[in-house]
Every structure is written in structure tokens, then in C-alpha cells.
Amino acid sequence: MIDLKLLRDNPELVRASQRTRGEDEGLVDQLLEADSRRRDAIAAADNARSEQKSFSKDMGKQMKTASEEEKVALREEGKKKAERVKELEAEQNAAEQAVYDLQMQLSNVVEDGAPAGGEDDFVVLEHVGTPPEFDFEPKDHLELGESLGLIDMKRGTKVSGARFYFLTGDGALLQLGMLQLAAQKATAAGFKLMIPPVLVRPEVMAGTGFLGAHADEIYHLEEDDLYLVGTSEVALAGYHSDEIIDLSAGALRYAGWSSCFRREAGSYGKDTRGIIRVHQFDKLEMFVYCKPEEAQEQHQKLLQMEKEMLAAVEVPYRVIDVAGGDLGSSAARKFDTEAWVPTQNTYRELTSTSNCTTFQGRRLKTRYRDENGKAQTVATLNGTLATTRWLVAILENNQQADGSVVVPEALRPFVGKDVLTPR
């Protein structure tokens, strides 16, 4: 939800943001008109209430000396004024709802410098590491996972359907080790580790911006009216909803470890092999509450955390600046890190970090007090520090000619092996 004051003061900035996203800039003028009607409705209702209050005060005095006929007239006039107040209050409520509905449709204002365009219009910021050159035909992660006894897709499909899987034996240890390493790095950097709920209320899901264009990606339990999260960002964003938090000692930083669920609607036939695009996975997600003026600095810190974690698991990757049309409604700026996947001869997304500015804070009514004690809306940011998909890059980049996979040194204490060998 964008700031209405920003909209009034600089509507062209919001229009330009909509163009960068490839979204309807007509929403800006619709919201401006709705906001004008809302302010007029508020003024009219306030005036009517003031008139009613003043009339009631005078009426009390006049009733003492009025004739019966005059008293009837005064009562009738008082009734009319009360009805008028109710009528104008209803108009005010309708006008406020119209503004709210339009605000919920308008995406966050894109940060200056983010590239325009869609999914393919990202800008590569840097490459880190060198893709391996094999003197043998490399196997993909699923073939490696099956031969090493790490992944069982067939039984996952038997038990739960397509795009489900079992991580077995060393595969389970590899994921747990990766997430444990991420948790250790996060806590060492001052993040509070959290294991949040994976079911959330509709208002929390909507507050984070996930019930818009991509609502069909989310599992909904109709009987309980609860949503399964696709990221622990949702629960962590709702953690301080309707609160005034203390940022006097600096940003609040959390790291949420959870299972995540995505319907992957509309992706049929895409990445169906292996564990690149699945319905359930585990993830450690960083989440930050800070003052708006600190958000860009915090964003760079999250990106640096991701880069350090990728270095620890020894995969080559690149960092991209995501284009406006691919940001998602909440993000003002997003950086993705993409690891090299040898058998696909391309880079694939492993992490993303987003600066959501005050968009989520405004929706979820999360505020802090400034140096003058005045309540202000917080900024929120998020970033992935490890997730199941990382196993794809770890396995493929560290494979050897005999079908074995070298375990990255940082993960060996958790796995208990230096090399994973075929069964």
C-alpha cells in the first residue's frame, strides 16, 4: 500500500513506477480522484456532525420555553439532522473503502535505478566464481540424487502427487546441514532465529501483498480460512502487525526457518524434472524491520549475507537487478542471485532479496516512533539465505566423473562425509 501523501505530492513518480512495471498507470488517476472524493466526504460528514451538535445544544435551550408545536418542529429538525449525519457517514465509509480497494491494487513504487521491463530485462551486476569444465558428460541433479540415494521423486509422486519428493539419507543431511549453516550465519550476524507458523490468516497474507496477481500460487484451506505460506516472510511480516515497535537501538532482524508451499499454478510442463520447481520445500528467510531511510543500506547487507552463504557452499553464481515488471507487487527493488547449473548451461535463481519500503508496514499497520515521538510506518525487507533448490547447484557443480559428489567443506561437519558416492 503506497503512501497517499506521496501520491498527492508526486503523482508522476507513481505513474512512472507503473510504467516501469508494465502496469496500468490509469490506477494513479483513479486513486487520486477517489482520494479527493474521500476527503470531500470526510469534510461533509464532519460539518454535518458539527451542525447536529450545535443544533442539539441550542435545541436544549429552546425546548425550555418553546410551545408544543415548536417542540415538535425542533424534534423533527433534530431527526432530519441525525439522519443526514448517518447518510453522510455512509458516504464517507463508501469513499474510504473505494480508496482502500484502489490502494490494494496499486503496486509499490519502484526504486530509482531499477531496470524497466519484464522477466528477461534484468541487468547483470556481477559474476562470482567460474562455471566448472568437465571432461565427462555431467549428470543432472536428479540422476545424481537418485544414484547417490539422496532424492526419491517416484515415491514422492506416489505418496503426494507430481512435484513432491523425499530427501533421503545423505540428501536429508545435506539440506539440514545447509539450513543449519545458514541459521548459524544469521544468528552470528545478529538475526533472531524463528520457527514461525506456516498457516496464516487472510489479512496477514494480503498485508504482505501475496493475494494480488499471484494469489493462484497459494494453497488456501477454505474450511479454516487459512493460507499455507510460500515463504516465512509472510509470518514474519505479520509478527509485529498492529504494533508500534522500538527501533531506537537499530533495525529488528529475524531469520525464519520453515517449510514453504506453492501451487506452481500456470507452470505445467516447466521445470518438472527434479526439485527445481516443487510444491513443498524448506527455506531460511531473513526479514528486517527498519526506518525507511535505512532500507537501502539494509538491502545491501542482506545481499552480502546471501553472497557469503553462496561462497560457503562453493557454487558459481551471478547477481542480477530484477526489472520492474518482475518485482512482485510489494518490492520496490529486488536483487536475485542465480547459480550456474551445468546440465542446463545457464544460471538459475537460488536467492532473492527485496526492499519493500513501507508498502507492507502500511498494510499491516506496523509503526515505530521517530526522534520526536511521532508514530511512523516502518520499512520491511526480506532475503533468502538457503533453500532446497540449492541442492541442485551443489550436486551438479561438485560432481566427479565416477558419479560421486564432493561435499562443500562448510557442509561436511553436518553431513559427516567429504564425498558422496553412488550406492
Residue 114 lies inside a defined structural domain of this protein: no
In the residue annotation, 389 being an active-site residue is answered as yes
Confidence (pLDDT) at 366: 98
What CATH number is given to the structural domain containing 165?
3.30.930.10
Binding site annotation covers 240? no
Mean pLDDT along residues 16-35? 93
The structural domain count of the chain equals 2
Residue 110 lies inside a defined structural domain of this protein: no
In the residue annotation, 352 being an active-site residue is answered as yes
Same domain flag for 302 and 362: yes
The active-site residue out of 17, 163, 389, 396 is 389
Same domain flag for 202 and 284: yes
Same domain flag for 164 and 16: no
Residue 111 lies inside a defined structural domain of this protein: no
State which residues form the domain around 368: 123-420
Residue 113 lies inside a defined structural domain of this protein: no
Count of CA atoms in the C-beta half-sphere (13 A) of 190: 10
The answer to whether the CB of 373 falls within 8 A of the CB of 344 is no
Q: Model confidence over 145-203: pLDDT tens digits?
A: 999 999 999 999 999 999 999 999 999 999 999 999 999 999 999 999 999 999 999 99
Mean pLDDT along residues 16-24? 92
The pTM is what? Answer: 0.90
Residue 112 lies inside a defined structural domain of this protein: no
In the residue annotation, 262 being an active-site residue is answered as yes
Binding site annotation covers 423? no
Same domain flag for 201 and 86: no
More confident residue, 232 or 74: 232
More confident residue, 408 or 269: 408
Mean pLDDT along residues 229-247? 97
What CATH number is given to the structural domain containing 32?
1.10.287.40
Binding site annotation covers 338? no
pLDDT greater than 80 at residue 266:
no
Confidence (pLDDT) at 114: 93
Binding site annotation covers 233? yes
More confident residue, 306 or 63: 306
Closest by Cα among 148, 168, 147, 144 to 156:
168
The active-site residue out of 8, 84, 277, 318 is 277
The active-site residue out of 349, 369, 404, 412 is 349
Confidence (pLDDT) at 262: 94
The active-site residue out of 38, 163, 262, 363 is 262
Binding site annotation covers 263? yes
In the residue annotation, 21 being an active-site residue is answered as no
Res. 268 pLDDT band, cuts 50 70 90 = low
Mean pLDDT along residues 28-44? 94
Q: Could you tell me where the beta strands, DSSP code E, fall in 172-272?
A: 192-194, 199-200, 220-221, 226-228, 244-245, 252-261
Same domain flag for 258 and 131: yes
